[in-house]
Structure 1
């Protein structure tokens, strides 16, 4: 009768020579990876459906989009990705390649539109320039303004 230690040494030596487990291991890993990715995809799809966690990028639609130098009013409509107007946002118009004295600001009403008065000027020997428009989203965290917005083109008469 063999001792327990000798039996364990013999089994360990047999297992060390047996390479069948190594052949099946990569297949099991691939299956586990596929199942894990599928499960993660389902969970992320469920989470993205929760409205409280999602944020929407805002854009502005200026009217008119093309204007001339001199004092005038711009109607700036702030919209969400679906084109719906957003109330309570603050719009800021500043000079870009066209010049403004300071900045013009306005707050959107229930229809998502703010009206600001601007007096753009063009530099010497300039035929055109742009005014930049940025948006400060309403409080609440549902909206962001990370990307560039539509610019207002100023063209010499």
Structure 2
């Protein structure tokens, strides 16, 4: 019985390097296709919402605002709930309103500013309508509040 050792083996691994290169190239190409597919699914399924308040600058007294909820192309979204809360300006309480068929909500706000505070902001968030593929994950347009003094 002949005993073989690795040091005495004269057979080379001739086909192995090219097979590894081919497997690596095919694997990277497959991974790229899968990542593009997964990335495309998320962007097709969800539409980010924003708000368009009118007016965009108000003073620190009671003010009526009209707020449109819009999609990325400017299309208005009906039945969304707009939530106004204090940013650097203060509101007595959180105020909510639902958008009508035209995608517009009416809010009445009473912002106040702190002592020696010349300006502040009111923040908005949106609760999308049920059953739609909408989301409000990013920051929305704010209203600037300036002091009357």
| Class of the TM-score when normalised by the shorter of the 2 chains | 0.7 to 0.9
2: CA distance between counterparts of 1:144 and 1:34? 33
Three-state SS of the structure 2 residue aligned to 1:105 is strand
2:18 counterpart of 1:19: no
Q: Deviations over 1:97-121 (max 9, x none)?
A: 1111111111001111100101111
Three-state SS of the structure 2 residue aligned to 1:92 is strand
2:122 counterpart of 1:128: no
Instruction: Give 2:23's aligned residue.
Output: 29
Residue 57 of structure 1, CA deviation? 0.7
The 5 Å alignment of 1:71-150 reads 71-150=62-141
Q: Which runs of 4+ in 1 moved over 6 A?
A: none
RMSD: 2.8
List gaps (5 residues or longer) in structure 1: none
Question: What is the TM-score when the length of structure 2 is the normalising length?
Answer: 0.84
2: CA distance between counterparts of 1:114 and 1:20? 73
Instruction: Give 1:61's aligned residue.
Output: 52
Which one has the bigger helix percentage?
A: 1
Which protein has the larger Cα radius of gyration, Structure 1 or Structure 2?
Answer: 1
Question: What is the TM-score when the length of structure 1 is the normalising length?
Answer: 0.80
Residue 19 of structure 1, CA deviation? 1.2
List gaps (5 residues or longer) in structure 2: none
Name the count of aligned residue pairs. Answer: 147
